[in-house]
Amino acid sequence: MIILKKVNINDLLSHTFVTSPGLTFGPIIFATFFFNLFLAAPNTGIILNGGNVNHNLKSITMKYVFSLIITATFLSCSPKLSDSRWGRSRWVLTEMKGVPVQLSGGRRDAYINFDPHEKRFSGNGGCNQMSGNYSLDKKNIHFGEVISTKMSCEDITFENTFLSTLNTVDRFEVKGNDLRLKRNRKVLLVLSAK
């Protein structure tokens, strides 16, 4: 038997609940079922396996408990962006292609600042200011449209290597305070949160 029930909530939202015996409930369908059953229409009769069951919740406490369950279910199902905390730190380049980078502790150290909401980054390549955008998909990352100022510096070769390596990165891994940028499985750049 298939059950189809439509519930209007404050004329703003409309939920449809469809199920059949043996169907595995995902967390969202489960939460929607309980919301429809107990909160949206507590006095509605619902047909289950051919019988008529009338649900009437008399305790407002039950509504709060189910609201809490629904909220927790939706929060646990929401996607968690890997870069959501990246914007809180300056990511200083500490290793490039397996070689440790000498840090001065000054403003000329190569670093990246991330803006997770805009999917943009800015920073310094060791000489020039740089910025661009990036995209994430699970553990994949791609840097694109990297632009930089064009000052001439003693160590411009280091900066050019950093920027060209950044353009080849396709994966990432966060390990402790380090962001490891990789090409396939090989770590190319290590940035440390400061």
What domains lie within the chain, and their CATH numbers? 3-77 (no CATH), 86-193 (2.40.128.270)
Position 61 scores a pLDDT of: 57
Other residues' Cβ atoms within 10 Å of the Cβ of residue 98? 9
Position 20 scores a pLDDT of: 38
State pLDDT tens for residues 22-42: 443 444 444 444 455 455 544
Position 10 scores a pLDDT of: 39
Which residues lie below 8 Å from residue 2, measured CB to CB, with a gap of 6+? 18, 19, 20
Tokens of 23: 């169907």
Position 68 scores a pLDDT of: 57
By DSSP bridging, strand 140-148 and strand 13-19 are unpaired
For residue 65, name the pLDDT band (cuts at 50, 70, 90). Answer: low
Which long-range contacts (C-beta less than 8 Å, at least 24 apart) are formed by 98-101? 98/187
* Percent residues over pLDDT 70 in the chain: 58
Residue type, 40: A
State pLDDT tens for residues 144-180: 988 999 998 888 999 999 999 999 999 999 999 999 9
Note the pTM of the prediction, 2 decimals: 0.58
Q: Averaged over 98-112, what is the pLDDT?
A: 90
Among 24-33, 101-110, 139-148, 180-189, the range scoring the smallest mean pLDDT is: 24-33
For residue 45, name the pLDDT band (cuts at 50, 70, 90). Answer: very low
Q: What is the mean pLDDT of the chain?
A: 74
Query: Which residues lie across from 135 on neighbouring strands?
Result: 142
CA distance 159 to 146: 13
CA distance 30 to 17: 10
Position 180 scores a pLDDT of: 97
Position 117 scores a pLDDT of: 93
Position 168 scores a pLDDT of: 95
